[in-house]
Structure 1
Amino acid sequence: MDEKPPGMDRWDERMEVPLAVASALFLAGYATLILGHGLPQGWRDLCLALILAAWVLFAVDYVVRLWLSGRRPLRFVRTHLLDTVVLILPLLRPLRVVKAYDTIQRRQDKPRLTLYARVMAYAGLTSILLGFAGSLTVYRFERDAPGATIVTFGDSVWWACSTLSTVGYGDVTPVTPMGRVTAVGLMACGLALLGAVTGSFSSWLIQTFRREDEEGPPGENPGAR
């Protein structure tokens, strides 16, 4: 497995906060445009400027990490497919939690509950952010569509919750192509996040039980085995 170049770690550390702020601004600008009915043109232009500025920062981050990796563009895209998807669709940036889950899965040392709890907390936050982003997208395309059942933002939020949890009550459903594409994406993300949470918890339990089994009952001398 290829090791991450030292410069990549420093860059990721420096960009962690700016990218988090840019993600928040991107989502805030997008939400304001969708929910701000009758918003003055000046405010709409400001929201569009925030979205564009955040997108430019995401693109700069992607290009810099491509340069620091020392790999050819096509190889970098293949090995960083999630980053590429997130660059094209910034509303999916919360899915970067998969990287944290992958890092913890590779750990073979003493199980640390804090690390696994962090992944589970990230997965929960990711579900909220993705649900909100999906609600905005579906509401944008469904509210004026003929025969639509999702006509308010509340309907959209309810639909997103049931879709992410893979329950799918079916009382409200998207009728537009973009709404259905978003539904497929949310279902896939819901399954992935559920797998990350259950996988992290299961891995922590397995490592804990394995370590206790190797140490043996209290008072037993391991060297006597």
Structure 2
Amino acid sequence: MIAALVFLVAFAVPIVNPGLPRGLRATLMTVQDVVWAIFLVDYVYRVLVAPKKWEFVRKHPIDLAAVALPALRPLRLVAALSFVHQVAGEKLRGHVAMYVAVATILVVTISSLAVLNAERGEPGASIETWQDALWWSFVTVTTVGYGDYAPVTAEGRLFAVGLMLCGIALLGIVTASLASWLIERIAEPDPAKQPATAADVTALTEQVRELRAEVLALRGGQGT
């Protein structure tokens, strides 16, 4: 997870600030390559220890693409997101609100960086700054779609499709969680109106038996 966050910073800084000195830019590119190598080693290790190796490869196509196609650097962001999800996802499982918040922040940030990297300087491009890209990501992930900013390159549109799918998934999680909460509140039983259970009937029967024994004992005492 630390390596993924380091990669995100090394990837983001040159995109947000394109006027960096050449030496610093080269250093950040080297950091990206080192972290990508860590991703590659991790993927190979997971394949080797997997009981069913081909099934593991088949179920993790994004990880495979991220390490097998180093020329497509934006795909490394997907690998970084996968690393963060592996760690943070387990910690936040069961905390739907926190999970959705973290996932939304990561998806919006990564998408804005990726689309800005693809769009900046292209003919007819309207997304030229990170502020524009961030606004576009928020509008797209919420499925609002004002249309004031839109990608014009094939790579940018590919990221837009991925962001739209993520937005639908996140909104679906929020809607399902809210519906589940409402159903639980509506179906929550009222203790005053809750029907008697088998345990309640058994306890009441035992009390009646004890009362009957006490009555019989009192009658016997009065007869003597």
Q: TM-score, normalised by structure 1?
A: 0.71
Structure 1 204/115 Cα, relative in aligned 2: closer, same or farther at 3 Å? farther
- Tell me by how many angstroms 1:176 deviates: 1.3
- Tell me by how many angstroms 1:203 deviates: 4.2
Say which of 184, 191, 200 aligns to 1:217. Answer: 191
- Tell me by how many angstroms 1:196 deviates: 2.5
- Tell me by how many angstroms 1:97 deviates: 8.0
Structure 1 191/86 Cα, relative in aligned 2: closer, same or farther at 3 Å? farther
Structure 1 86/146 Cα, relative in aligned 2: closer, same or farther at 3 Å? closer
- The one-letter code matched in structure 1 to 2:120 is R
- Tell me by how many angstroms 1:185 deviates: 0.9
- Give 2:59's aligned residue: 79
Q: Answer yes or no: is 1:48 the counterpart of 2:29.
A: yes
Say which of 122, 129, 139 aligns to 1:152. Answer: 129
- The one-letter code matched in structure 1 to 2:130 is F
Measured on the aligned residues, the alpha-carbon RMSD in Å equals: 3.3
Residue pairs, 1:109-188, within 5 angstroms: 115-116=93-94, 118-188=95-165
- The one-letter code matched in structure 2 to 1:90 is R
Counterpart secondary structure, 2:38: helix
Paired residues of 1:143 and 1:150 also in contact (CA < 8 A): yes
- The one-letter code matched in structure 1 to 2:133 is S
| 1:58-81, Cα deviation, whole Å (9 max, x unpaired) | 222222222222213x21122334
- Point out the more displaced range, 143-152 or 158-167: 143-152
Partners in 2 of 1:167 and 1:38 — Cα distance?
Answer: 33
Q: Gaps (5+ residues) in structure 2?
A: 69-74, 202-224
- Point out the more displaced range, 125-134 or 91-100: 91-100
| 1:124-149, Cα deviation, whole Å (9 max, x unpaired) | 11211221111112222222122222
Q: Answer yes or no: is 1:94 the counterpart of 2:99.
A: no
- Give 1:22's aligned residue: 3
Structure 1 76/65 Cα, relative in aligned 2: closer, same or farther at 3 Å? same
Structure 1 52/222 Cα, relative in aligned 2: closer, same or farther at 3 Å? farther
- Point out the more displaced range, 82-91 or 59-68: 82-91
Q: What is the percentage of aligned positions where both structures have the same residue?
A: 39
Paired residues of 2:93 and 2:99 also in contact (CA < 8 A): no
Structure 1 220/27 Cα, relative in aligned 2: closer, same or farther at 3 Å? same
Structure 1 25/204 Cα, relative in aligned 2: closer, same or farther at 3 Å? same
- Tell me by how many angstroms 1:163 deviates: 0.4
Q: State the aligned residue count.
A: 192
Q: TM-score, normalised by structure 2?
A: 0.71
Paired residues of 1:97 and 1:126 also in contact (CA < 8 A): no
- Tell me by how many angstroms 1:190 deviates: 0.9
Q: Gaps (5+ residues) in structure 1?
A: 1-19, 104-113
